[in-house]
Amino acid sequence: MTTEESIRSRKTLKLRANPDNPLPVTKGKDFKKTIEELIELAGKAPFHYESAKGQRSYKLIGNEPWRFHVLDGESCRIFLKALKQEKPMKAPEGIKQMLAASDALILATWLPERSRKLSRKFHPNLKNMEHIAATGAAIQNLILAATSRGVNAYWSSGGIIRKPKVLEFLGIPNHEILLGAVFLFPDEFPESVDTQSGMNADKRGEAGDFMDWIEVGENIQ
């Protein structure tokens, strides 16, 4: 599949299974290799600024402003059990239903440039804007690469997974900020599994609705 074909054929398809009766996990080591290759391709995205050295963990030391944390199917089911508990990690049904259907979950975070006061918030400066844009580009690389291989990938904002307590449970450093939770769903599933397409799929216009040509005059003083 060419890059253009991947872009044109990519679509949102969410799968929702019963959290009390999750789909069986059928993909093993070969699928882990596929995920590693998808993330390698995600890492080809452009980035303008390196991540701040003080924000890198001892484990993930890359210069890139993004990080990818992966749960395989079995870990998704264990995570699901934790989210079915009472507070502070009780989750809404949507997240639990998607975890019950997932072959894997990829959590894409970015490393903010901190202000003097350390907090979960980040300073809205140019570097952080560039970091977010670069991480978004990496996620887009990931889902297009998945599409080219016939892997159903859904980019979610993450919902409750963004919460500090949940990130702590998953072992994700508290200075990282979640930008995308990418659910990888199976190609084949029983009819009992609920499916949902993207809510904006039918709202796309023509290119002329969101672009124009700028004509610069020749007689500039």
Average pLDDT, the chain: 88
Domain assignment of residue 192, yes or no: yes
Nearest residue to 99 via CA among 175, 30, 156: 156
Residue 186, domain member (yes or no)? yes
Q: 46: cis peptide before it, omega within 30°?
A: no
Residues 165-200 pLDDT 10s: 899 999 999 889 999 999 999 988 878 788 777 777
Ramachandran bin of 75, using left for φ above 0, alpha for ψ from -120 to 50, beta for the remaining angles: alpha
**If we measure between CA atoms, which residue out of 22, 12, 11, 13 comes closest to residue 192?**
22
Residue 221 lies in a domain: no
pLDDT digits (tens, 9 = 90+) for 49-72: 998 887 888 788 899 999 999 999
pLDDT of residue 18: 94
Strand partners, 67: 109
Side-chain half-sphere exposure of 25, counting CA atoms within 13 A: 19
Percent above pLDDT 90 for the chain: 57
In-domain check, residue 219: no
Using one digit for the tens of pLDDT, what is the confidence trace for 118-160?
555 678 889 999 999 999 999 999 999 999 999 999 999 999 9
CATH number at residue 154: 3.40.109.10
At residue 117 the predicted structure's pLDDT band, cuts being 50, 70 and 90, is low
Would 81 be classed as within a structural domain?
yes
146 phi and psi, to 5 degrees?
-65, -45
- 6 has a pLDDT exceeding 80: yes
Give the DSSP per-residue string, 4-71. Answer: HHHHHH---EEEE--TTSPPPP---HHHHHHHHHHHHHHTTS--SSPPPGGG--SS---SSSEEEEEE
Cut 0.95: pTM above it:
no
Q: Is residue 188 part of a domain?
A: yes
Range of the domain at 88: 3-200
What does the pLDDT read at residue 93?
Answer: 87
* Domain count across the chain: 1
Q: For residue 209, is it within any domain?
A: no
